[in-house]
């Protein structure tokens, strides 16, 4: 169903209330999501993006119920990932000669996924624009690596709407579409979770892109991403958030992540948590048993943290697979400006803490020398090292 966004701009996307995971099973969805597509009906009729492949036939049928598809003058494909390009095949089965405006890399990703189907691609670069009549233009801004090499944003002059695609999005289903209608607490949590788990590795690129966008002196009446709410109430607040998130973001928080076999490493995790709270009552401390936790939510907590502590017992001359898998994900996200410390128990050989320190260094953390490393169950002597460890993490 077409819904008015502003003037002749409508939302024609799909609200995915049932979605439980995204990117396969790699991203947990707690509050639904949406794939936002937009229809602009000026002298030219333009479709901005489509929806995910499983919904392609509904998408095309809905669109048909709103307009004669042959009236679409062109499609803008801001990004080739299938949650936005996944209906292009069904759509171009109906309108095979409809031009598609996208980046050179999007040609590669769309053809790579769906094959060469005689698409009428028109490659655009930053600053290119198209007149759509009634004094309005679409201006393209390449958003390379935000978060794919093919990503771009499209700005509609006159209405001053930035169709930002994934940037500024959230996996959050909101029936009323707009940010002022959403639960603000959930909205900002989901925006941060999206940033932590998807955009964090590209923070330095994002920082430069935000400066570039600022230098264009654009007015933003709305920022309309491809997931979650449309920012219409104080739309630049999400740009301000991104500006702080891409710049070594941290709050006064320490996050402790561990897994345990016979509760020895768990005992150390709890001792560190209690000590940090005692040492600095202002700091927020959170503890996660990673095998039992949602890894994406834990990454969001890491984003908020100024330091983390990571624990595993030694097993098979290494660390527990739950910690190893999570740490590989941690490395991919390339957090910067954070401290980390390692702890764990061992029975026979005792490699885990050294391995954890190496992994944390590889992941870009400033690793403290102090460790808590306990042979068998942590005893008083082992736990006597906790205050020094905690102080070093907090300093």
Active site residue 227: yes
Cβ 22 to ligand FEO shortest distance, Å: 8
Q: Residue 83 or 382: which CB sits closer to ligand FEO?
A: 83
Whether 141 contacts 213, CB under 8 Å: yes
Nearest CA among 235, 229, 223 for reference residue 187: 229
Cβ 166 to ligand FEO shortest distance, Å: 4
Active site residue 83: yes
Active site residue 176: no
Cβ 111 to ligand FEO shortest distance, Å: 17
Q: Residue 7 or 113: which CB sits closer to ligand FEO?
A: 113
Active site residue 58: no
Cβ 185 to ligand FEO shortest distance, Å: 23
Ordered DSSP codes for 149-187: TT-EEEEETTTTEEEEETTT--S---TT-BGGGS-HHHH
Q: Which residues bind ligand FEO (CB under 6 A)?
A: 79, 81, 83-84, 147-148, 166, 226-227
**Residue 347 neighbours by CB distance under 10 Å:** 14
Active site residue 351: no
Q: What are phi and psi of 375, to 5 degrees?
A: -85, 125
* Angle of helix 386-394 versus helix 264-279 axis, rounded to 10: 60
Cβ 361 to ligand FEO shortest distance, Å: 30
Catalytic residue among 16, 142, 150, 166: 166
Q: Rounded to whole angstroms, how far apart are CA atoms 77 and 336?
A: 32
Active site residue 81: yes
Count of helices and strands (H, E) across the chain: 13, 21
Catalytic residue among 31, 55, 84, 147: 147
Q: Residue 197 or 226: which CB sits closer to ligand FEO?
A: 226
Q: Residue 81 or 259: which CB sits closer to ligand FEO?
A: 81
Whether 191 contacts 174, CB under 8 Å: no
Catalytic residue among 81, 142, 150, 382: 81
Catalytic residue among 42, 101, 227, 301: 227
Cβ 390 to ligand FEO shortest distance, Å: 39
Whether 305 contacts 253, CB under 8 Å: yes
Q: Residue 31 or 267: which CB sits closer to ligand FEO?
A: 31
Q: Residue 150 or 301: which CB sits closer to ligand FEO?
A: 150
Catalytic residue among 14, 38, 101, 194: 194
Dihedral (Cα; 155, 185, 227, 301), 10-degree rounding:
110
Ordered DSSP codes for 85-146: HTTHHHHHHHSTT-EEEE-HHHHHHHHHHH-----EEEE--TT-EEEEETTEEEEEEE-TTS
Q: Rounded to whole angstroms, how far apart are CA atoms 299 and 31?
A: 17
**Residue 32 neighbours by CB distance under 10 Å:** 18
Q: Residue 83 or 370: which CB sits closer to ligand FEO?
A: 83
Nearest CA among 162, 155, 150 for reference residue 121: 150
Cβ 206 to ligand FEO shortest distance, Å: 14
Q: Which helix (H) or strand (E) holds 389?
A: helix 386-394
Whether 66 contacts 30, CB under 8 Å: no
Cβ 168 to ligand FEO shortest distance, Å: 12
Q: Residue 84 or 295: which CB sits closer to ligand FEO?
A: 84
Catalytic residue among 31, 55, 79, 84: 79
Active site residue 166: yes
Residue showing the smallest CB distance to ligand FEO in the complex? 81
Q: Rounded to whole angstroms, how far apart are CA atoms 287 and 308?
A: 10
Residues forming the active site: 23, 79, 81, 83, 147, 166, 194, 227
């Amino acid at each position: 169903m077409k819904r008015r966004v502003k003037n002749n701009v409508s939302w024609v996307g799909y609200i995915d209330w049932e979605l439980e995971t995204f990117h396969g099973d790699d991203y947990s969805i707690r509050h639904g999501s949406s794939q936002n597509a937009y229809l602009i009906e000026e002298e030219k009729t333009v479709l901005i993006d489509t929806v995910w492949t499983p919904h392609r036939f509904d998408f095309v049928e809905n669109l048909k119920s709103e307009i004669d598809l042959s009236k679409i003058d062109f499609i803008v494909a801001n990004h080739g990932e299938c949650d936005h390009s996944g209906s292009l095949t069904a759509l171009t089965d109906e309108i095979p000669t409809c031009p598609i405006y996208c980046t050179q890399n999007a040609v590669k990703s769309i053809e790579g996924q769906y094959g060469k189907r005689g698409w009428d691609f028109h490659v655009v670069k930053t600053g290119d624009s198209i007149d759509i009549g009634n004094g309005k233009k679409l201006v393209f801004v390449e958003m390379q690596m935000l978060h794919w090499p093919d990503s771009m944003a499209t700005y509609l002059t006159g209405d001053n709407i930035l169709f930002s695609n994934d940037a500024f999005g959230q996996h959050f289903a909101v029936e009323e579409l707009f940010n002022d209608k959403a639960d603000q607490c959930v909205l900002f949590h989901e925006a941060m979770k999206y940033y932590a788990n998807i955009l964090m590795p590209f923070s330095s690129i994002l920082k430069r892109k935000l400066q570039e966008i600022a230098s264009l002196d654009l007015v933003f009446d709305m920022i309309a991403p491809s997931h979650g709410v449309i920012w219409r109430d104080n739309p630049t607040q999400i740009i301000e958030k991104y500006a702080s998130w891409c710049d070594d973001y941290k709050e006064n928080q320490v996050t402790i992540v561990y897994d345990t076999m016979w509760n020895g490493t768990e005992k150390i995790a709890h001792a560190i948590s209690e000590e940090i709270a005692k040492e600095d009552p202002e700091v927020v401390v959170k503890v996660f048993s990673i095998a039992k936790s949602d890894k994406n939510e834990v990454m969001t907590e890491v984003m908020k943290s100024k330091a983390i502590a990571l624990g595993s017992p030694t097993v098979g001359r290494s660390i527990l697979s739950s910690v190893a898998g999570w740490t590989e994900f941690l490395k991919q996200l390339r957090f910067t400006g954070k401290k980390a410390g390692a702890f764990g128990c061992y029975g026979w050989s005792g490699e885990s803490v050294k391995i954890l320190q190496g992994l944390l260094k590889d992941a870009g953390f400033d690793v403290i020398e102090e460790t808590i490393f306990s042979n068998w169950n942590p005893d008083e002597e082992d736990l006597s090292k906790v205050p020094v460890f905690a102080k070093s993490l907090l300093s």
